[in-house]
Structure 1
Amino acid sequence: MNNLRNKVQLIGRLGAKADFKKLDNGTAMAKFSMATNEVYKNNKGEKVDETTWHQVVAWGKTAEIIDKYTDKGTEIAIEGKLINHSYTNKEGEKRYSTEVQANEVVLLGDKKATV
């Protein structure tokens, strides 16, 4: 049971060029959306192609690699963990969001024109 932890592995394509910036303290940060696809047959035997979008953030050298070598449509594999955030919107309602914090990235191939 010691091997159970907060770990995410995804293979997919970037929805757009990553939003890259250097913070005041010099730390690099890249935020991007990533699409993963799952293909399966439903109860009627019909092929279903389901796309799920994930919000991803990367820091430091990982962020620099993503900025330098990826663009919209680039296929990558990432490993990281889930990070949960909560905030209050303008209407005073409590909202929650989840993003993947990428710790490692592997560039998998040529980018496609579309995601």
Structure 2
Amino acid sequence: MARSLNKATLIGNLGADPEVRSTNTGTRVATLSVATSRRWTTRAGDQQEKTEWHRVVCWDRLAEICERYLRKGDRVYVEGRIEYRQWEGQDGQTRYTTEIRALEMIMLGSSGGGGESYSATEPRQERSDFSEFSNRSVAGEDDLPF
């Protein structure tokens, strides 16, 4: 059977403080707005820049870490998978979103101490007081209010 890969890697800056909420079952979820930019020079010699905004979703312990340490403007490395969701809005219209579900996050010079690595797949002990990091799928995440 052929294998496939769904992996997104970003290095960017937070456009706002993390938005952290809880599901109906009490699971913490953080949404990050991460900006990545690229610059280039046109053939005419003009400097151009384009910024892309990415919606990153962190679950459980990783969400708590984001809430505690990340702030607007912080630089982060995020690794995860791309997910597409759809739902019906209050107006009856179908809405769509593309998200990156974070599995790994490293703070790069943020207020929480640059270089700290937090993973959803491997528990790690770093220079912080956290000894367990989890970002697994949980029952009830489909009933998010957003």
TM-score class, shorter: 0.7 to 0.9
Equivalent residue letter for 1:71: R
Share of identical aligned residues, percent? 35
How far 1:95 moved relative to its partner? 3.7
**For residues 63-105 of structure 1, what are the alpha-carbon distances to aligned partners after superposition, in whole Å with 9 as ceiling and x for unaligned?**
1111111101010010011111123452x55442211111110
Q: Do residues 40 (structure 1) and 40 (structure 2) align?
A: yes
CA distance in 1 between partners of 2:59 and 2:74 (Å): 19
Task: State the shift of 1:9 in Å.
Answer: 0.3
Aligned residues: 109
- Kindly indicate whether residue 13 of structure 2 is the aligned counterpart of residue 13 of structure 1: yes
Residue identity matched to 2:28: A
How far is 1:61 from its partner?
A: 1.6
Runs of 4+ in 1 over 4 A off after TM superposition: none
Once the two structures are TM-superposed, the CA of residue 59 in structure 1 deviates from its matched residue by: 0.2
* Structure 1 segments unaligned to the other structure (5+ residues): none
Is the 2:70–2:110 Cα contact (8 Å) retained in structure 1? Answer: no
- The CA distance in 2 between the partners of 1:45 and 1:87, in whole Å, is 45
Structure 2 match to 1:65? 65
- Report the Cα distance in structure 2 between the residues aligned to 1:94 and 1:26, rounded to whole angstroms: 26
CA RMSD of aligned residues (A): 1.9
In structure 2, runs of 5+ residues without a counterpart are 112-146
Matched residue, 2:51: 51
Moved more, 22-31 or 9-18: 22-31
More strand by share: 1
- Provide the rounded CA distance (Å) in 2 between the counterparts of 1:93 and 1:22: 25
2:79 is matched with which residue? 79
Cα deviation 1:21-59 (Å, max 9, x = unaligned):
233423211012111111112232222121111111100
Counterparts of residues 99-114 of structure 1 (less than 5 Å): 99-110=99-110
Q: How does 1:88-107 map to 2 (within 5 A)?
A: 88-89=88-89, 90=91, 93-107=93-107
| Matched residue SS, 1:67 | helix
